Amino acid sequence: MEDHANLAARWLAGAGSIVALTGAGVSAESGIPTFRGEGGLWRTYRAEDLATPSAFARDPILVWEWYRYRQGICAAAAPNAAHAALARIEERAPGFTLITQNVDGLHRRAGSRNLVEVHGDIFRARCTVCGANRELTGAEEETIPACPGGHTMRPDIVWFGETLPENAIAKAHRASASADLFLVIGTSAIVYPAASFPLIAKDRGARLVEVNPEETPLTPLADLSFRGKAAEILPLLVDRAFSRPVEDS
Ligand code: BV8
């Protein structure tokens, strides 16, 4: 572990182009339940049951109640040391791109700016009639937000069976294809096309470093895979990488 941490820190300090892909695990230590771990259930529903266009068409109130419940958890949560470590990489490594599957807004609150939110933002609603967007706090009176034209709005979230925003895919693909170092943090790596970005990087010769308490389908492909929590491992690697004198890297 000691050698691996030093090696990963050296790669971090010396990489020309770094990309990270995060999943729900990076927000676990902020108290936000992961999708597929325990706590991922709401009432008797699984995320996959509700995060679909058909669930929304069938019962928009139920789906909005689920998002309102999650908005409350996300609003009450604070970014943790893993979010802060990723924001620090952006400060120290120009051109760093952070691709996140998370919709909780914690990376932005931690200071990350070169951020690609491939699955949307839980605090934004979108009107399917007029296309209006609306920023939500989660404290609105109404469960289902309406656009200025009075139409029912939907969460601005990418549901299963829906394509990701074109610009998000293009930016994530471009960054992944030119990465020297690709970090995969806190994701089960089973949702596509997000899980394809580390594969694109690896195919182009990037080093792959994974941080996850459990093994994932990416583990066999990783050059280094740390079995641990993001809020413990990431700060350790970033401290070693960016507090060392440059000539050491
Ligand atoms: C699409 C928004 C075109 C909702 C989400 C091949 C190609 C293309 C599509 C597919 C394909 N195969 C299958 C598909 C369909 C589907 C898919 O991938 N299904 C999976 C389940 C097999 N993909 C789609 O539908 C995508 N659309 O491609 O359109 C198309 C359409 C139909 C058919 C073909 C093509 C859209 C996918 C987006 C869905 N929306 N989120 C919302 O949030 O409400 S995805 C959802 O899963 C979340 O965004 C989440 O982020 C994401 C991935 O989950 P994880 O983040 O990894 O979370 P999970 O709980 O699974 O894992 C947490 C991990 O953290 C674990 O590994 C755990 O060990 C670890 N962990 C825990 N604690 C910690 C930790 N790690 C570090 N530190 C800790 N402390």
Question: Which protein residue's CA is at the shortest distance from atom 76 of ligand 1?
Answer: 186
The residue ranges of the chain whose pLDDT is under 50 are 245-249
Closest CA to 20 of 75, 120, 89: 89
**Structure confidence by residue, pLDDT tens digits, 34-61:** 888 776 667 778 888 899 999 999 999 9
Per DSSP, what are the bridge partners of residue 233?
none
Q: What is the pLDDT of residue 243?
A: 86
Q: What is the pLDDT of residue 35?
A: 83
Element housing 156 (H / E): strand 153-157
pTM of the model: 0.95
Q: What is the pLDDT of residue 42?
A: 73
Q: What is the pLDDT of residue 246?
A: 45
Whether 119 sits among the annotated catalytic residues: the reply is yes
Closest CA to 103 of 88, 87, 124, 83: 124
Q: What is the pLDDT of residue 191?
A: 96
Cis peptide before 193 (omega within 30 of 0): yes
Question: Which protein residue's CA is at the shortest distance from atom 41 of ligand 1?
Answer: 119
Pocket test for ligand 1, best of 22, 27, 35, 159 (most atoms within 8 A of CB): 35
Q: What is the pLDDT of residue 249?
A: 42
- Exactly one of 4, 107, 119, 151 is catalytic; name it: 119
DSSP string, 179-239: -SEEEEES--S-STTTTHHHHHHHHTT-EEEEE-SS--TTGGG-SEEE-S-HHHHHHHHHH
Tell me 45's DSSP state.
B
Closest CA to 81 of 40, 152, 153, 27: 27
